[in-house]
Amino acid sequence: MKVIWNSQIVEREEVSIDPEDRGYQFGDGIYEVVRAYNGVFFCLDEHIDRLYSSAQKIEMAIPQTKEEMKSLMNQLLKESGVETGNLYLQVTRGIASPRNHVYPDLSVLPTITGNMTIVPRDAEKIASGITAVTEPDIRWLKCDIKSISLLGNIMAKHEAHKRNADEAILHRDGIVTECSASNAAIVKDGVIYTHPDGNLILPGVTKIVWLKCAEALGIEVREEPFTLNQLAEADEVFCSSTTIEVMPIHTINGEKVNNGKSGEITRQLADAFKQKIEEHCGTV
């Protein structure tokens, strides 16, 4: 299987990760997940922009230009033969010895790895929705950086899993921020509410697209914080991410939302989102 390793496409077996790689030792790195449909990346520019923005926020210099990185990713997509699936791309601060919390100087080059996996689009789930539970948001205060240090996220997701739910909706002191691996939104009286971008959430690429869809559909969106009470009283609840698109949440903490059915506005957004994919990548 072909993978990205630094500036090249190589066989997976050729990659070796040093035990003193800072990604491995400190979780000192960033990543992106980019979706491909029919052999074409969706929203590649937006993902690249966020990758370089994350790098800049942690003072890490990626040696490739954005254009070079995009062509490397496109080359991997082509050579992998994957039609519909996900690219996981990771950039760590490289190998520095002896272990030292202080960043090494910029002559230490980042370690870049990337691989494609086949992940079919789950149209049935997008129609029927998923279950969620609420969990405290125990993460750090720079959630806008797409950091590979994901303990806070995976602990929340694992709690959800233990409670037989698909996703964890996170809250800080009763204010819903986002989910463990997606952005969160509610619909009340025809208006969509979602937490504003800032340091408490990841600025979702999927969210950028559904915000545009909502505008085109004439659906009002308020990017403002909402509470757990508002969540409990919402007409509709949905989450969004690159891998799950616009996904209805039909049950929260065992209580049904909208009688356990996907709501009308969520359905309209999910359909409009699918249309955007098809405009760029062909029929899905």
Ligand X SMILES: Cc1ncc(COP(=O)(O)O)c(C=O)c1O
Q: Which residues bind ligand X (CB under 6 A)?
A: 33, 153, 178, 181-183, 202, 204-207, 240-242
Sign of torsion, CA 264 218 252 147?
Answer: positive
Closest separation in Å from C-beta 105 to ligand X: 31
Q: Residue 78: in which H helix or E strand, if any? A: helix 66-80
Closest separation in Å from C-beta 183 to ligand X: 4
Closest separation in Å from C-beta 19 to ligand X: 27
Residue number with CB closer to ligand X (96 or 179): 179
Residue 8 identity: Q
The two three-digit tokens of residue 2, written as one number: 């072909």
User: How many Cα atoms are found within 13 Å in the side-chain-facing hemisphere of 215?
Assistant: 7
The two three-digit tokens of residue 1, written as one number: 């299987």
Residues annotated as catalytic (active site), given as ranges:
31, 146, 178, 202
> Which residues contact residue 270 at a Cβ distance below 8 angstroms, ignoring those fewer than 6 apart?
126, 127, 238, 245, 246, 247, 248, 262
Closest separation in Å from C-beta 143 to ligand X: 7
Length of the chain: 284
28, 55 in Cβ contact below 8 A?
Answer: no
